[in-house]
Structure 1
Amino acid sequence: MDEDAVSILMSTVEHIAESLDTAHDSWRDHLQSIRNITAVLEFSDTHPDESRRQWQLPLIGVFQRVAYADADSGGVSDIANWCLKQAVTLLQVYPDDVELLTLIGRNWLFRAQRSLAKIHLSEQSSNSSGGSQFVSLSASEEDRQARRNNAEAESRLHMSDYVEARGILLPAVEYLRRATDAARAQDRITGDLLSTEQAAEAFMSLGNVSSPRMNGQYFQQALGYLRTANQLPGYILPLHLQK
């Protein structure tokens, strides 16, 4: 692709990014123009080229923002798949690239949001239908109820939404873990990478849909990321993560 073509392409990408920044719901307006591009653009790089990388990664990032602007509903699968394919292709050329690893990890994390949203709604419905009346229980009754609740929680883990969420979140945590490891090695670690919508969130989400017999390791990893982020100069954890 020559310089003029790249310039025209990136003008479109910048316009989409600016539109999303000012009006998040505008993502639908850009679907056709993005599909026109993805229909003819495929990355097949076999060796590093910084001049190409400088426009390839922002392009994938903006297209991925559009693809998952409504992640809870499943996103726009064809654009999301295109982004993942291009990022994985480039990762073969740049195996320790923090931005690429993060893009791939977030792609998988966003893919899990539909299942996670359905699980959240189901659990909310279950909790509300259980009633809120307080009843005093004896120690033995509390023990039986706790065992019953644990059994029900274990049973839910075999439901399709939980199984699907775990399957999608496993690559999410793997790529985001690799991203944080690479960032540490390159002295490029940031609070955003460690916490919101990235490493810590991925591990917490995986812990929430995993068996109590093994989810502790995921929560501990998430907590470790949050503690590290909280110690970074100038970074403040979002309020919902400060608990």
Structure 2
Amino acid sequence: MDSQMLHMLMATVELVNANLDTAPGSWRDQLPAIRNITTSFEISDTAPEQSPRCWQIPHVTVVQRVAFADADNGPIPDIADWCLRQLLTLLALYPRDAEILAFTVIGRHWLLRAQKALASIARAESELHSNEESSPYPLQSAKQPLVETQERINNADYVEARALLVPATDYLQSAVDAAREKGQLTGHLLLTASTLPFTQIFQR
């Protein structure tokens, strides 16, 4: 990519990011600009280099911000898939980079992919608890058979959430390990890793 194209790309990303900061609900208006980026640009580096890395990570982060702007209803598939391709390319170049592994980039990507299923689970759990509270036989409702509980945790939303949270957990643990090795471990990263809802999905 020549310097003029790179300058235009970075200017577009900065504008989209500024627009989202000002009006988060304007993400649909940013789709033409974002799709112009995703159809014309792919990270194709074959060796690690600090200079492009400095703009590539923020670039993908902004595109990912649009891809998952309405995460409770699912990602925008083509844009989310583009983000994942770029992140995997970056990860191959910088395999122990805590910033790429962590919540801000690839770990966050998998968390956001799981958000739709997690939102559905939360709604279903809320409805279940409401029904139990309004039941004229609360003690009977509380003794829900194990088979019903098992059916619930094996439904599509739980299965999807578990499948998506596995890589999120793996990447976040790798990020913690990499940051610890470099003496760059932060409270934010530890908090993110410790509050991941992965174990809750398995324990229901």
1:180 maps to which of 166, 172, 176: 176
Say if 2:99 is the partner of 1:78: no
Alpha-carbon separation, structure 2, partners of 1:192 and 1:77: 29
The corresponding residue for 2:20 is 20
Residue 150 of structure 1 deviates from its aligned partner by: 4.8
5+ long unaligned stretches in structure 2:
none
Count of residues paired in the alignment: 202
Report 1:193-204 matches (<5 A).
Answer: 193-195=189-191, 198-202=192-196
Query: What is the TM-score normalised by the length of structure 2?
Result: 0.90
Alpha-carbon separation, structure 1, partners of 2:8 and 2:91: 25
- Conserved 8 A contact 2:74-2:116: yes
Which structure has more helix as a fraction of its residues? 2
The corresponding residue for 1:6 is 6
The corresponding residue for 2:120 is 118
Residue 120 of structure 1 deviates from its aligned partner by: 0.8
Residue 193 of structure 1 deviates from its aligned partner by: 2.0
Alpha-carbon separation, structure 1, partners of 2:51 and 2:147: 56
Say if 2:154 is the partner of 1:158: yes
The corresponding residue for 1:95 is 95
Residue 42 of structure 1 deviates from its aligned partner by: 1.1
Alpha-carbon separation, structure 2, partners of 1:81 and 1:200: 27
The corresponding residue for 1:210 is 202
Name the aligned partner's letter for residue 13 of structure 1. V
- Conserved 8 A contact 1:154-1:211: no
- Conserved 8 A contact 1:84-1:107: yes
Name the aligned partner's letter for residue 161 of structure 1. D
Alpha-carbon separation, structure 1, partners of 2:86 and 2:186: 24
Residue 145 of structure 1 deviates from its aligned partner by: 4.9
Say which structure, 1 or 2, has more relative contact order (CA 8 Å, 6+ apart): 2
Alpha-carbon separation, structure 1, partners of 2:4 and 2:41: 15
- Conserved 8 A contact 2:110-2:167: yes
Evaluate the alpha carbon distance shift between residue 194 and residue 150 of structure 1 in structure 2; reply closer, same or farther with a 3 A threshold.
farther
Name the aligned partner's letter for residue 180 of structure 2. R
Query: What is the TM-score normalised by the length of structure 1?
Result: 0.76
Residue 151 of structure 1 deviates from its aligned partner by: 4.5
Alpha-carbon separation, structure 2, partners of 1:136 and 1:152: 17
The corresponding residue for 2:34 is 34
Residue 80 of structure 1 deviates from its aligned partner by: 1.0
Deviations 1:58-78 (A, max 9, x none): 100111111111110102111
- Conserved 8 A contact 1:112-1:165: yes
